[in-house]
Structures are given as structure tokens and as C-alpha cells.
Structure 1
């Protein structure tokens, strides 16, 4: 059988990589023990997560909630929603912090005409939640002077610290990871506001994945989140639990987009 693909690229920086490898090794072992064929030995870090989301051979991955419900070309099945143990996270929900340099203006309205950073136009925490909180302040469909796409939340933080941008929305899980790994960057920032809450990025598989493999994946997730031998790996990822369910948890993200459009602010500008 053709070998499938696995990815945990949403939160996979620094010490998170070793933790993700440890979790995947155990998931792969469980799948193999249940007779699932084509299980990859290693996580794929050679391609972007966006590319992997479109791969029909994706056995296991994690996706941002906004493209999950807004991109009709994606053919994915939700396996479970992770529960992260970080400030502003819990019960399968998280938020974004609007951050700026510590010595800059303390309120969001003061950033009219300034430079914003986003990790990507399809990001829920970096763009969609950001747009929702800015929409009431926009005038003529615009609020910021420029919007810089950085490619990742961590790069958005770095852009603010360097002075290339003035404000960004950083998801609470990444914020906690940067605070742990690079505390000097967080020390250089101030939190201006906190966005609405939304469901955390779900674990997914291709819709082409056989149902027996889907069942085995859900069983494996339940086992790795409860295994005391994996406590250190889970702690490195802030992973506390998982919640079963489907795409219905992510429908409110489309509502935020619609509300911004109705308010005359369809794009973060």
C-alpha cells in the first residue's frame, strides 16, 4: 500500500518538534498494532501545512479552523479538537492577544494608520479574529496603513520587536510557547486587547482515509493524551486533553467573517 503522510506543523517550533515526534511515534505504533497500512514513520516537515492539507494521502494532520470552513477545495475529516493548557485557552477554545511594542500606544484605536502584521490571509487567529475586533473601528473599509504578511505568528512577533510592524494578533498557544522559549521577545511586548474565543485547530485526516483508519486514529489520540509516559511531550505542547467532534465547532468562525463583511470591513486593511 502507498505510504500516507502525517504532519503536526501548526505548533512545531524548537522543543515542540521533539515532542511532536514522540507523540507521532506512539500514534504510529498504535496504528500499526491495529493493522493500519501505509503509516509513515516520520512527520513530514518538507512541505508547508497548507500543501499537506490538500494532499489526499494525509493520514494525520492539524489545520487552522478558518480555512477548514472557508476553503471548499479542502477534503478533510475532523478527528478531534485539542485542549491546550495556556492562558486564554481551555475546553477546546483559545483566543488571540493583540500585541504591540511595550513602549508604544496602549490602546487599539491609536493604531489607526499604523503597520499591522498577519501570519497569513487564511489564518483564524492571526487574521480572522483580528479583523473581527478591528471592524467596528474601520472607516471606509480601512483601518491600518499597511498590512505585512509574515508567514507565521512567531515572525509576526519578531516583526514587531524589530519595528517592521506595530501590531499583530498572536494566538494564545503560540504566545505561551514564545514566552517559554524566547522570553525577551514577550518582555518587549504589551497586550492591547484579547479577541473573541474560537475552537482550537483540530486534528484531521483526508476524507479518503478508510473508516477503520479513522477509528484507529481516534483511539490512538485518546491513548496518547492519557499515557503518563508521554506527559513531558504533552507538556512541551501545552496539550492537556482532546475533545471529539466535527466541523460544527468551527461554524462560528464563518459568522465572524460575515459580520466583518456586513460592517464594511471584508479584508484586514
Structure 2
């Protein structure tokens, strides 16, 4: 079986994610779950991990959960983070521009350049599209949309002047500010997007119900372990909520609203 915590796993947090996984794996083994992976998988593309039939646990994004992944995975739990822009298990994005950018409203972004991490990202694209749709008036806003592959790269593109605006996941933005305090001197928050359920932890649809229940019990137990307090603080992790696909319909509802507003594609 395989496991991944690759959505909030930059190099400086890998030790924390490894410690979190080791604690979770030990608890699962004590519950009698067999074939628990001893380490996290980091050498395979995330979409390949998400669709692996032997997936025990991985973190995905709410947008592919509700679009491309279909019934291949089952939601296990949604993390709760202590970060600005988070509301329990729900979170949004920060629409950021360079510190000295003259833009005062989203409408001032017309004719500018945007950076997004990917077209299948809820926080980088879907929430961004939703907050822009009322201003787009059925037409394109940007002269260019740069796909960077990661929120951190989108932020870097704005700082470097390769893009003028980006929508950065609230948790990622907080973690980047923890690591690089100078970020606040380089960019500012122009707007905040709506919030939707955060990045879900999922397992393969073939995972037995007893294993899903064990995963949920083990995750809940982690939060109350004093030995893990430094790890949880580093990850800004404070708990887990049990949400299902119906909760994630908020993601596709925003997509539908953008379509109805005549802005089906972020452009």
C-alpha cells in the first residue's frame, strides 16, 4: 500500500510530515491494519498516487475530488488548520499582488498577467475564477495566464514580476510566511476568495470500511498526542473533520456560478 502527504510537503516540512506519518502508521499497526507503508511516497506524480488501487491515504484537492477522480477514492477526513483564511475545515485563497502594485480592486486587474498553480486546482483556479467572475462580465480579464505547477512558484512569479496576481491557498500562504517572513514586504493581499472545504485526505474506493474507520480514529488520536505538538504546530494542524462528497459540492457550485456568469475559463 502507498501513502502520501504531498500537498503541504515543501522541503522544510518533510521532516514534520514524516513524523506525522510515522505516528499514524504506528497507530494503524496497533489497530491491526496490515501492509501499512513505513514511509511516504514522494517519487510518483500526485495524480498517479490518487488513482492507485493500493492507496491507503493521500491528500488531494477538492476540485479533482469532484471532477476527475470520480468514485476512485473515498474521503477519509479533512484537516483543520490554524491559518488566516481558514474556517474550521474550510479555507479559501489570498489573491496577492506585489507590494507596490497600484491595483485597489479586482477590477483593476484587467489587462494584467495572472499566475495559477494548475487548471485543476480549487484554490489556485476555481476559487480565483469564482471571485473574478462578477468583474469579468463574460470576457477575459488577463493578457496571459501562467501555469506554474505550485502555489509557491506562483507567489515567486508575482514577486519576480513575471505575473501580476495569483490566488494562493490560505494554508500554503501561511506556511510560506512562517518560513520566509520577508514575503510580507514583497506582496500584499488584494482580496480573499470564498471558502470551501479544504484539501481532503482520501483512500482508494476499495479500502475496507474497517480500515477507513481505523484511519479516522488514528487521525483523531494524533491531535491529542503531546509528543506531536511541535510537529502539529509546524504544519499548523489543529484537527480533522469528517466531511463527505456532499460537503464538497460547494466546490462545483462555485464552478457553476462562474459558468452562469459567462466566465467558464479563467482567462
TM range (shorter): over 0.9
Asked if the contact 2:71/2:205 (under 8 Å) is kept, the reply is no
Q: Which residue among 71, 79, 82 is the counterpart of 1:82?
A: 79
Q: Which residue among 3, 8, 14 is the counterpart of 1:6?
A: 3
- After TM superposition, the structure 1 = structure 2 runs for residues 2-151 of structure 1, keeping only pairs within 5 Å, are 4-73=1-70, 75-105=72-102, 106-151=104-149
Q: What's the counterpart of residue 230 of structure 2?
A: 232
Partners of 1:153 and 1:74 in 2: CA distance: 27
Partners of 2:49 and 2:247 in 1: CA distance: 22
Partners of 1:183 and 1:158 in 2: CA distance: 14
Q: What's the counterpart of residue 163 of structure 1?
A: 161
Q: What's the counterpart of residue 152 of structure 1?
A: 150
Return 154-163 or 10-19, whichever deviates more. Answer: 10-19
Q: Please list the CA deviations of residues 39-76 of structure 1 after superposition, one character each: whole Å capped at 9, or x if unmatched.
A: 11100010122221111111011111111112254511
Q: How much is the aligned-residue C-alpha RMSD, in angstroms? A: 1.2
Q: What's the counterpart of residue 203 of structure 1?
A: 201
Is there any run of 5+ residues in structure 2 with no aligned partner, and where? none
Partners of 2:154 and 2:71 in 1: CA distance: 26
Structure 1 length normalisation: TM-score? 0.96
How many residue pairs get matched?
266
- SS of the residue corresponding to residue 249 of structure 1 reads coil
Is there any run of 5+ residues in structure 1 with no aligned partner, and where? none
Return 114-123 or 47-56, whichever deviates more. Answer: 47-56
Partners of 2:252 and 2:207 in 1: CA distance: 26
Q: Which residue among 246, 252, 266 is the counterpart of 2:244?
A: 246
Give 1:245 deviation, angstroms.
2.5
Partners of 1:73 and 1:65 in 2: CA distance: 11
Structure 2 length normalisation: TM-score? 0.96
Q: Which residue among 143, 167, 174 is the counterpart of 2:172?
A: 174
Q: Which residue among 176, 179, 186 is the counterpart of 1:188?
A: 186
Asked if the contact 2:137/2:261 (under 8 Å) is kept, the reply is no
- SS of the residue corresponding to residue 136 of structure 1 reads helix
Asked if the contact 1:116/1:148 (under 8 Å) is kept, the reply is yes
Asked if the contact 1:141/1:266 (under 8 Å) is kept, the reply is no
Q: Please list the CA deviations of residues 109-164 of structure 1 after superposition, one character each: whole Å capped at 9, or x if unmatched.
A: 11101110000001000000000011111144311111000001000000001111
Return 231-240 or 183-192, whichever deviates more. Answer: 183-192
Asked if the contact 2:97/2:164 (under 8 Å) is kept, the reply is yes
Q: What's the counterpart of residue 215 of structure 2?
A: 217
- SS of the residue corresponding to residue 80 of structure 1 reads strand
